[in-house]
Amino acid sequence: MTYEAIMDMKYLDQVVNETLRKNPPFGMLSRETTLNYKIPGTDCILEKGTSLHIPIYAIHHDPEFYPNPSKFNPDNFSEEAVKNRHPIAFLPFGAGHRACIGVRFGMMQVKLGVIIGLRKFKYTLSPKTRQPIKLQSKFFVAQPEGGIWLNIESVD
């Protein structure tokens, strides 16, 4: 498996990104303004030093950006869909100079893990997994209530 081969797997990228959209690792970002900022189209000014909470989960589930947001749809990350959507509508690892510095490495590890895992094993949901999956709201990092239980069988 080469880096180039993994980068050519466009649908895998779409699936991973759609998973991150539906279940972002963090539900919100906290930031502080460094300058006064007038919100376009309003008379509201955010003064320098104002604390902001950016609701990642809400943005990722906004039907303005993602039609039928509760449905898992990898086509939300087709080239055309991404091109036609505001770039800040997808923030699983933040954005700008404060974005996660390990995102490329982490994404490569996830994709490689999925590829290797699917080559050797078959996965099905255990009846122990609650459906639909609900995220616990009391934790900083998203966690499913009751966990996700899988049945794993070797395909060899």
On the CB side of 22, CA atoms within 13 Å amount to 19
Closest CA to 126 of 146, 144, 145, 150: 150
Query: CA-CA distance, 151 to 66, in Å (whole number)?
Result: 31
Residue 100 annotated as binding site: yes
Q: What letters, b where the CB count within 10 A reaches 16 and e where it falls short, cover 109-120?
A: eebeebeeeeee
Q: Which residue numbers belong to the known binding site for heme?
A: 100
Q: Which residue numbers belong to the known binding site?
A: 100
